[in-house]
Amino acid sequence: MGVVTGLLLGAGLACLWWACWSTPPRPARADGPGARLRDSLVQAGLPGVPLHRLALLGLGAGAVAGLLVLALVRIPAAAACAAAFAAAGPLLVVQGRARRRRARLRHLWPEVVDHLASAVRAGLSLPEALAQVGERGPLELRAPFVAFAEDHRATGRFGDCLDALKARLADPVADRLVEALRLTREVGGTDLGRLLRTLSSFLREDLRTRGELEARQSWTVHAARLAVAAPWLVLVLLSSRPQAAEAFATPAGAVVLAVGAGVSAVAYALMARLARLPDDPRVLR
C-alpha cells in the first residue's frame, strides 16, 4: 500500500512540475504572413503549391541569376544583387498574379450575388442556389461552387461545405457572402434577398470608385517602376566596359552596389505601399 501511495504521489508531483514548466503549443495566427501567403497562392490559382516549394523556387532562381550575372560581368557584388532580386521574383510573381486575379474577380462578384438573389427569390434552397452558381455563374468562379455542390451531395453538411468553399475562394467578398448565408440558414430570416441586393449595389459602387482611382494613378506607378529599374539597366550597360567592371569589383564598388540595392528595394516597397489601394481584409476567415 505504501508503494502505491508513493507512486501516486510521485506521479502527481511530476504532473504539477510538467504543468508549471511546459508551454502549450501556440495556434497558428489566422492573419499571419503564412496565412496571407497561402491566400495569395489560392487567389493566384495555385492552391496546390506548398510554401516550402515557393521558397525553394526563390532560392533556385536567385542562385541561377547570381551565377549567370557573375559569368557575364565578373562582378561579385552585382551578382549578389541580381541573386537577391531574383530570389524575390517568385514571390512577386505570385503576389502580382493574385492581385490581377482579384481585380478580375471584383467585376464578377456582383453577378454572383445577383445569381444568388434570383435563386432565393425563385424559392430555391441555399445549397441549390450555391450549386446553381456553379452551372450558370461566371466561368472563372464556377469551379469552387461546383466543388461545393459535390461536397454537399456527398456529405449533406452545409456548414462544413461552406467552410471548404471559403477556403477555395480565399476572398473577403466570399467570406461576407458565406457568413450571411450561414447565418440565414441557422437562425432564419426573410431579409436575405434585400441583403444580397444591397451587397450587389455596394460592390458595384466600390468597383466604380476603385476603377476611377486606379486610372488616375496608373501613370505614377509606371513612372516609379521605370525610375527604380533605370539605374540597374545603366549598370548592365556600363558593366560591358572593362574599366567600369574593375571599379565595381573593388570593395568601394561593392558598397555602392549594396547601398543602391537597398535604396532601390526600399523605394520600390514604399512606392508599392503608397500606390496600392487598400484591399478588404479577411476578417471573417
- Looking at residues 177-182, what average pLDDT do you find? 85
Q: Are 202 and 173 in contact (CB under 8 A)?
A: no
| pLDDT mean across residues, the chain | 79
192: cell is 436575405
In single-letter form, the type of residue at position 151 comes to D
52-104 pLDDT, tens digit per residue, is 888 898 899 889 988 888 887 777 777 887 888 888 888 888 888 888 888 88
* 263, pLDDT greater than 80: yes
194-233 pLDDT, tens digit per residue, is 888 888 888 888 888 888 877 777 777 777 778 778 887 8
Biggest CA-to-CA distance, the chain: 92
User: What sign does the CA torsion over 113, 37, 97, 141 have?
Assistant: negative
**pLDDT value, residue 26:** 44
Q: Are 248 and 254 in contact (CB under 8 A)?
A: yes
Q: Are 112 and 283 in contact (CB under 8 A)?
A: no
Quick one: pLDDT band at residue 146, thresholds 50, 70, 90? very high
214: cell is 486606379
Report the candidate in 199, 129, 203 with the shortest Cα–Cα distance to residue 161. Answer: 129
Query: Rounded to two decimals, what is the model's pTM?
Result: 0.65
* 285, pLDDT greater than 60: yes
Beta strands, E only, the chain: none
Question: CA–CA separation, 78 vs 255, rounded Å?
Answer: 11
Q: Are 157 and 177 in contact (CB under 8 A)?
A: no
Q: Are 140 and 104 in contact (CB under 8 A)?
A: yes
